[in-house]
Amino acid sequence: MRIPLSKPFINEDVRRRVAEVLDSGYLTEGPVTQEFEQTCAGFIGCRHALAVCNCTVGLEMALRVLEVGPGDEVVVPDYTYPATASVVNIVGATVVLVDVDRATTLIDMDALEAAITPQTKVVMPVSLLGAPLDYDRLNALKETYGFFIVEDAACAMGTEFGGKKAGNLADISAFSFYPRKFITTGEGGLVTTPNDAWAEWMDSYKHFGMGRQTTREDTVFDIVGTNYKMSNILAAVGQAQMLMIDELLFRRREQAAHYVERLAGHPRIIIPAIPEQGLHSYQAFCILIEERDRVMREMRAAGVEVQIGSYALHRHSAFRPHAGCRHSGSLEDSDYVFEHALTLPLYHELTEEQQDQVIEMLCRLT
Ligand X SMILES: Cc1ncc(COP(=O)(O)O)c(C=O)c1O
CB of 235 to ligand X, least distance (A): 15
**CB–CB of 203/50 below 8 Å?**
yes
The answer to the question of residue 269 lying near ligand X (CB under 6 A) is no
Binding ligand X by CB under 6 A: which of 39, 94, 173, 176?
176
Q: Which residue lies nearer to ligand X by CB, 176 or 204?
A: 176
Q: Which residue lies nearer to ligand X by CB, 62 or 128?
A: 128
> Starting from the edge strand earliest in sequence, which strands make up the sheet with 325-327, in order?
48-52, 189-193, 172-176, 148-152, 120-123, 73-77, 94-98, 325-327
Backbone region of residue 67 per phi and psi (left: phi > 0; alpha: psi in -120 to 50; beta: other values): left
**CB–CB of 31/53 below 8 Å?**
no
Size of the site for ligand X (CB under 6 A): 15
Q: Which amino acid is at 332?
A: E
- How far apart CA 141 and CA 354 sit, in angstroms, is 43
Binding ligand X by CB under 6 A: which of 80, 104, 120, 328?
80
Scanning 22-30, 51-59, 229-237, 334-342 for contacts with ligand X by CB under 6 A, the matching segment is: 51-59
Scanning 61-69, 80-88, 301-309, 330-338 for contacts with ligand X by CB under 6 A, the matching segment is: 80-88
Binding ligand X by CB under 6 A: which of 9, 36, 79, 81?
81
Scanning 40-48, 152-160, 200-208, 244-252 for contacts with ligand X by CB under 6 A, the matching segment is: 152-160
DSSP assignments along 271-293, one per residue = PPP--TTEE---SSEEEEETTHH
Burial of 208 (0-12, 13-18, 19+ CB in 10 A): middle
- How far apart CA 94 and CA 60 sit, in angstroms, is 13
**CB–CB of 313/83 below 8 Å?**
no
The answer to the question of residue 41 lying near ligand X (CB under 6 A) is no
The answer to the question of residue 343 lying near ligand X (CB under 6 A) is no
Q: Which residue lies nearer to ligand X by CB, 185 or 366?
A: 185
Scanning 52-60, 64-72, 135-143, 210-218 for contacts with ligand X by CB under 6 A, the matching segment is: 52-60
Binding ligand X by CB under 6 A: which of 6, 84, 184, 328?
84
Binding ligand X by CB under 6 A: which of 36, 148, 178, 259?
178
The answer to the question of residue 230 lying near ligand X (CB under 6 A) is no
CB of 18 to ligand X, least distance (A): 19
CB of 132 to ligand X, least distance (A): 14
**CB–CB of 123/142 below 8 Å?**
yes
